[in-house]
Amino acid sequence: MTGPASRAIIPGDEPPAPKPGGIADRARGARAAGGDYLAKLNPEQRRAVEALDGPVLVLAGAGTGKTRVLTTRIAHLLATGRARPWEILAVTFTNKAAREMKHRIGDLIGGVLEGMEWLGTFHSIGAKILRRHAELAGLKSGFTILDTDDQIRLMKQIIQAAGIDEKRWPARQLAGHIDHWKNKGLAPKDVPQGDGHVFADGRGVKLYAAYQARLKVLNAADFGDLILEPLRILREHPDVLAEYHKRFRYMLVDEYQDTNVAQYLWLRLLAQERKNICCVGDDDQSIYGWRGAEVDNILRFEKDFPGATVIRLERNYRSTAHILGAASHLIAHNESRLGKTLFTDAVDPEAAKVSVASSWDSEEEARAVGEEIEQLQRQGHTLNEIAILVRASFQMRSFEDRFVTLGLNYRVIGGPRFYERAEIRDALAYFRVVAQPADDLAFERIVNTPRRGIGDTTVRLLHDRARARGVPLTEAAAEMIGTDEINARARTAIRDLLASFDRWREQLETLPHTELAEIILEESGYTEMWQADRSADAPGRLENLKELVRSMEEFDSMAGFLEHISLVMDTDSEASADAVSIMTLHSAKGLEFDSVILPGWEEGLFPSQRTLDESGRVGLEEERRLAYVGITRARKRAYIRFASNRRIHGLWQSSVPSRFVDELPEAHVDVVEESNSYGGYGMGSYGESRFDTRDPFQNTYSTPGWKRAQKNRSGGGFDEASQGGYGNFSGPRSKQRFIEGDLVAKSVVGGSSIYETGERVFHQKFGYGHIATIDGNKLTIDFDKAGRKRVLDSFVERH
DNA sequence: TAATAGAAAATTTTT
DNA sequence: TTTTCTATTA
């Protein structure tokens, strides 16, 4: 990863090395050795750390100390003087993993790790290599990294330019194919004949080529290119390859089971000279096949690297024997695996078995989970140690709804990312055009945001001109303001905008970049646009913009910031508040919790029908691995649940328990008999839970949730700070719900509403309606479609 | 050109 | 059910 403080990469400009055997070097070695880092390892781990030479495959089961092995191995390399920090290539998949490794190596060697320039994600290291040799790929070193959204928009243009019906052949689909080819390491010329016919009657490859050509013109690379282009450079330029062979004495790869073909080829090429490559992974945790990961890479390792040492880590330090037993028995149903069996030495006769329970529908499921969590809480467990892991994100909703009602703190991990939000992308587009005038995609995004009277017609004219002259849009625009091809109003608007960009570009040299960022957002009228916006999420968006500018402070230039933002996808704001985590199974990989709740184990949902249809047995095995990942996240307690009915796309469907449920071993499972334990008002009937007509004001004020809400409030729990904190990683949806919790509490106080009787309002759920009566901030509204409802004024907007 | 209403489509997982 | 796109109208 390219961290904030990473130094500029100038070939040949290496940081000064401590002289091997010199004072600094010996002192460092002594300190590390004094830490006795090897003694803390079990025999298998120690073997994995000490087998420094030649290819090594470490098959590390869940919770067996994989990261410890990787980091200790690096510390060992450094301590024994085998390699200096910048001679080690260490690749991970996520920025988080890279960060953690850096941190833990630092702990091992007793200080801050410096000089490990080549520890990072595949993508950031790929970007680094590509920037050093950009000209070999037809790019300039300052190229832009496009995200998925930009990619799709670009492909849309290419499809249109080729005169292909964009409805029949959606850009998204083309993006899928191109992604697939890039994952396999195939440039347009390498795509096999048959493959090219999959899109638009055989024009797929042509479009791929056109897309690549367009990227070069835009001086841009997409995510696939960050792997594909370096691979091509290494293949076609032996001198460059030799340089890296010389440089990388040792290579380490984390999560090897997740590598795709391109990454594999890239690693093999780099490792072929010295062969000091150590891959750590777990075939049972390969869950990214759908985006090109090849489990085969890990299954084939010994063939690819003859004479490889294979070490299995099976001693688990995380979970109870029941949890391990359940997970192992389940995963044993898979055929394609190298085979490992986790075991633990820890004996705990008190340990709970894996609980399996069912519910009537997803709402009852959420209710039951809420109960389970409250019970855990009563037993003194903190919410931070509880996680709900779902297969698909739509499942999160019912839990969020329920937890808001209960006043139970939760956080959604994953979700819509900070950088993906419209306002952030808009702001970044402004910065990108300033930093890179040729960035047409960014320019197009903001020409008319905020509205300046530059509509589709004008943009099309600009496009025609740009294409005819072979120049970027900004340049075409500059030419066209001198002509009368565009109408006067749009022409003035464009002239003003271009003048602003010129001005900001000058200020790029003279002003600190954070200050410039504020100026840009202010002068462009962008912040004003949101200030004028009366919708509920406008204030949050402004807050996000502030946060964006604040986060820029960590960087020393606009360019450095833009590089970071395109590569670092995670917004890892650690929340201090105690809260239940809700996330997908995929994003739970690598995490662990005392209690893990696994809802939605139903055929069609988990295993996902779509995966089954698309990938058959292979897909089923991947789903099973996902289940395995889920169970092994738990240290002490795992709760598996399924519901008999679930609403999908607004339709109720009855569902059958997942086959995975029956694949669990009886000996480690406790089946919880159906219980209508919630509430006392015998509503086991269909109706009540299906149609949520219950009024939020009927909350009993003595429930744990209510008490908690009161406590939170008196402690200033729901203040702006905590909301802002959640806003960073949970969507606007959940954010709003937090506000809801607050207002329910305040409604006791009464007061006058900002609305008037008879006013027409809009409500997210119920649609349009007229206010019938007002009681404090509670409104009774006659909705056009939904009839008379009582709602809080914060839920409605003036219409 | 911009706002609006109504229809159609989409729903897994993400560096 | 919700979101996104499209066509219409002002």
Write down the pLDDT at residue A18: 54
Q: Which of residues 207-236 of A touch strand B (CB under 7 A)?
A: 223
Going by the annotation, the residues of the binding site of A for ATP are 60-67
Q: Which domain holds residue A793?
A: 759-798
Residues A373 and A508 in one domain: no
What span, in angstroms and rounded, lies between the C-alpha atoms of A341 and A314? 6
User: What's the mean pLDDT in A408-434?
Assistant: 83
Which candidate, A37, A39, A41, A117, places its Cα nearest to that of A77? A37
CA-to-C1' distance for A368 and B15, Å? Answer: 35
Band (pLDDT 50/70/90 cuts) for residue A270 is very high
Residue A180: name the closest of A161, A166, A199 by CA.
A199
How many domains are there within chain A?
Answer: 5
Element containing residue A70 per DSSP (H, E): helix A66-79
Give the CATH number of the domain where residue A545 resides: 1.10.486.10
Nucleotide B12: nearest residue by CA–C1'? A392
Boundary residue ending a domain (A160, A191, A218)? A218
Both A451 and A523 in one domain: the answer is yes
Which of residues A46 and A769 earns the better pLDDT score? A46
Q: How far apart are CA A207 and CA A164, in angstroms?
A: 10
Residue range A32-43: mean pLDDT, rounded: 74
Tokens at residue A718, please?
């729901």
CB-to-strand C under 7 Å, chain A 164-183: 167
Q: To which H or E segment does residue A769 belong? A: strand A767-775
Q: What is the CA radius of gyration of chain A?
A: 29
What's A201's domain CATH number? 1.10.10.160
Query: How many CB atoms are located within 10 Å of the residue A489 CB?
Result: 12
What torsion do the CA atoms of A456, A458, A462, A465 make, to the nearest 10 degrees? 110
Nucleotides of strand B lying closer than 7 angstroms to a protein CB: 1-3, 10-15
Residues A131 and A269 in one domain: yes
Band the pLDDT of A785: cuts 50, 70, 90.
Answer: low
CA-closest candidate to residue A440, choices A154, A138, A134? A154
Catalytic one among A26, A47, A67, A495? A67
Q: Nearest nucleotide, C1' to the C-alpha of A456?
A: B1
Residue A303 Cβ < 7 Å to strand B: no
Asked if the Cβ of residue A457 lies within 7 A of any atom of strand B, the reply is yes
Mean pLDDT over residues A749-778, rounded? Answer: 61
Average pLDDT, chain A: 80
Supply the DSSP symbol for A352. Answer: P
More confident residue, A760 or A411: A411
Contacts of A182 (CB under 8 A, 6+ apart): A222, A224, A225, A227, A228, A262
Question: Is position A66 annotated as part of the catalytic site?
Answer: yes
pLDDT above 70 covers a percentage of chain A that reads 79
Distance CA A696, CA A229 (A): 56
- Phi and psi angles of residue A209, each rounded to the nearest 5 degrees, phi first: -60, -45
Position A468 scores a pLDDT of 85
Strand C within 7 A of A785 CB:
no
* CB A612, CB A574: distance < 8 Å: no
Active site residue A465: no
Question: Is the residue at A689 inside a domain?
Answer: no
Residues 6 or more apart whose CB falls under 8 angstroms from that of A451 comprise A529
- Shortest-distance nucleotide from A647 CA to C1': C1
Check residues 579 to 618 of chain A and report those whose beta carbon is under 7 Å from nucleic acid strand B. Answer: 584, 586-587, 608, 610-611, 614
- DSSP strand E in A294-367: where? 309-313, 354-361
A798 Cβ nearer than 7 Å to chain B strand: no
Task: Find how far residue A89's CA is from the centre of its chain.
Answer: 24
> Tokens 């993906």 label which residue?
A420
Assess if residue A633 is contained within a domain: yes
Residue type, A494: I
Torsion sign over Cα A197, A202, A205, A207: negative
Cβ contact A168 with chain B strand, < 7 A: no
Query: Is A711 part of any domain?
Result: no
Q: Dihedral, CA atoms, A235, A238, A240, A243, nearest 10 degrees? A: 120
Q: How far apart are the first and last CA of chain A?
A: 48
Q: What is the mean pLDDT of residues A739-764?
A: 44
Query: How far is Cα of residue A157 from the mean position of the Cα atoms in its chain?
Result: 27
Torsion of CA A451, A456, A462, A467, to 10 degrees: 140
pLDDT of residue A696: 31
Q: Kindly state the helix (H) or strand (E) to which residue A499 belongs, with its residue range.
A: helix A488-510
Spell out which residues of A between 413 and 442 contact strand B, using CB within 7 Å: 414
Residue A667's pLDDT is 93
Question: For this structure, is A94 an active site residue?
Answer: no
Average pLDDT for A104-129: 89
Among A218, A252, A283, residue at a domain's last position: A218
**A236 and A290: one domain?**
yes
Q: Are residues A450 and A543 in the same domain?
A: yes
Task: Indicate the length of chain A as a whole number.
Answer: 799
Question: Between helices A488-510 and A422-435, what is the axis angle to 10°?
Answer: 70
A388 forms beta bridges with A582, A597
Compute the average pLDDT of residues A599-608: 91
Give the dihedral of Cα atoms A749, A752, A755, A759; nearest 10 deg.
100
Of the candidates A2, A45, A66, A445, the residue annotated as catalytic is: A66
Single residue among A626, A643, A671 that ends a domain in this structure: A671
Distance in angstroms, CA of A172 to C1' of B8?
17
User: In the numeric block, which tokens belong to residue A258?
Assistant: 């997740």
Q: Same structural domain for residues A533 and A583? A: no
Annotated active-site residue A254? The verdict is yes
* CATH number of the domain enclosing A598: 3.40.50.300
My answer on whether A236 and A87 are in the same domain is yes
What's the rounded mean pLDDT across residues A608-631? Answer: 90
| Residue set of the binding site of A | 60-67
In this structure, is residue A721 part of a structural domain?
no
DSSP structure class, residue A30: H
Q: Would you call A255 a catalytic residue per the annotation?
A: yes
User: Is A432 a residue of the active site?
Assistant: no
Residue A94 CB closer than 7 angstroms to strand B?
Answer: yes
A107 and A233 in a single domain? The answer is yes
pLDDT one-digit tens code per residue, A306-363: 999 999 999 999 999 999 999 999 999 998 888 888 999 888 888 999 999 999 888 8
**A281/A375 same-domain check:** no
- φ and ψ at A753, to 5 degrees? -85, 160
Residue A609 has pLDDT above 80, yes or no: yes
SS3 A99: helix
In 3-state terms chain A splits into helix, strand, coil percentages (rounded to 5) of 50, 15, 35
**How many angstroms separate the CA atoms of A598 and A389, rounded?**
5
A255, A444, A742, A793: the active-site residue: A255
Residue A740 has pLDDT above 90, yes or no: no
CB A631 within 8 A of CB A354: yes
Alpha carbon A718 to chain centroid, angstroms = 27
CA distance A353 to A671: 9
pLDDT at residue number A109? 84
In this prediction, residue A729 has a pLDDT band, given cuts at 50, 70 and 90, of: very low
Which positions of strand C lie within 7 Å of protein CB atoms?
1-3, 6
pLDDT at A741 over 50: no
Find the nucleotide nearest A394 (Cα to C1′): B11
Is A136 within a domain? Answer: yes
Same domain for A44 and A160?
no
- pLDDT tier at A694, thresholds 50, 70, 90: very low
Give yes or no for a contact between A556 and A436, defined as CB atoms under 8 angstroms apart: no
Q: With CA atoms as reference, report the closest residue to A417 among A538, A559, A577, A583.
A: A583
Q: Which of the four pLDDT bands, split at 50, 70 and 90, describes residue A28?
A: low
Minimal CA–CA distance to A83: which of A103, A53, A41? Answer: A53
Q: Is residue A63 part of a domain?
A: yes
Nearest by Cα to A523 from A537, A502, A541, A539? A502
**A148 beta carbon to strand B: under 7 Å:** yes
| Residues facing residue A281 across a β-bridge | A59
Q: What is the mean pLDDT of residues A231-256?
A: 95
Q: Do residues A462 and A527 both lie within one domain?
A: yes
Whether A129 maps to a domain, the answer reads yes
Domain identity same for A537 and A403:
no
Global pTM? Answer: 0.77
Helix or strand run (H / E) with residue A594? strand A593-598
| Higher per-residue confidence, A279 vs A610 | A279
Protein residue minimizing CA–C1' distance to C3: A649
CA of A397 to C1' of C1 (A): 12
Q: Is the CB of A767 under 7 A from strand B?
A: no
Q: What is the pLDDT of residue A7?
A: 32
- A575 by Cβ neighbours in 10 Å (0-12 / 13-18 / 19+) ranks as middle
The answer to whether position A382 is within a domain reads: yes
β-pairing, A593-598 vs A634-648, is parallel
Higher pLDDT, A556 or A637: A637
